[in-house]
Structure 1
Amino acid sequence: MPTITKLFSLKEASEHNSKEDCWVIVSGKVYDVTNYLDEHPGGDDVLINAAGKDATDEFEDAGHSKSARELMQDYCIGEVDPTPIIPELEIISKDQPTNIAHVLMDKTLQYWVFPVAIVAISVVAGLLYLRKK
């Protein structure tokens, strides 16, 4: 079994999506199946349709044998890089609290505090106005 040292981004893997250059992602590993297309028992169409994509669900649904899984190792060229494509767009960064309930409560407070403050000020202003009459 070869040692996996190369990391590929999803974008990089997605660029290999043709019969002449066919990569498939299964369970986070990247496989260059270009030379296996003609040998695939299900036909090359199956692999070409999965080219450049994460085909884990399709692979598992097909019920591949133990020998097929062992054969895959010969075509493994690396793993998918787990880091986000654009780190600045992470929904919750490492600096923010990881408790989702806490984050949602903070957002909820932002949406109801302002209207409640306006209503409270209006009530106080109305009472003061009525008191002067």
Structure 2
Amino acid sequence: MAKLSKLYTMQEAAQHNTSEDCWVVIDGKVYDVSSYLNEHPGGDDVLIAATGKDATDEFEDAGHSKSARELMEKFCIGELDESSLAIPELEIVRAEQASDISKKIVEFTQRYWVVPVAVAGISAVVGFLYLRKK
């Protein structure tokens, strides 16, 4: 097999997520399976659901045969750019921000207290009427 020269990011692969244009990523390789969707034994929805993420685990769990793995090579269009898989930085929240968030939650519940009270009241009435019928 020739060395693959084209690198794709996961975001690029995820954009190809329709039955007319479907790419999947398995074992660090990108496959354009658009022309294979109708022939896939598991159905096209399985392949379309695999776009936008690394589908290696799902592929391995399905127990594909050696011939299926050989057939895959026909659809390989490149490799996944591993540098695009960097872990995003976590947002650090200061103590003041955390207290602001809790204050906003308390304000929200005080402002809209009628919604949970109405739900509880309606539930109680429905329960009472249901038990009364029996």
Scaled to the shorter chain, the TM-score interval is: 0.5 to 0.7
Paired AA for residue 40 in structure 2: H
Report 1:45-124 matches (<5 A): 45-84=45-84
Larger Rg: 1
**Structure 1 CA distance, aligned partners of 2:85 and 2:54?**
15
TM-score, normalising length: structure 2 = 0.61
Counterpart of 1:127 in structure 2 is none
Over 3 Å counting, the alpha-carbon distance change for 1:84 and 1:46 in structure 2 is closer
**Structure 1 CA distance, aligned partners of 2:62 and 2:86?**
33
Question: Unpaired runs of 5+ in structure 2?
Answer: 91-134
Q: Percent identity?
A: 64
The ranges of structure 1 where at least 4 consecutive aligned residues each deviate by more than 2 angstroms after the TM superposition are: 84-87
Counterpart of 2:35 in structure 1 is 35
TM-score, normalising length: structure 1 = 0.61
Counterpart of 1:18 in structure 2 is 18
Report 1:4-15 matches (<5 A): 4-15=4-15
Per-residue CA deviations over 1:31-72 (Å, capped at 9, x if unaligned) read 000000011011111111112321101000000000000000
Deviation at 1:14, TM superposition (A): 1.0
Per-residue CA deviations over 1:2-38 (Å, capped at 9, x if unaligned) read 4311000111111111111100000100000000001
Counterpart of 1:130 in structure 2 is none
Q: What is the total number of aligned residue pairs between the two structures?
A: 90
**Structure 2 CA distance, aligned partners of 1:85 and 1:61?**
23
Structure 1 range deviating more: 4-13 or 66-75: 4-13
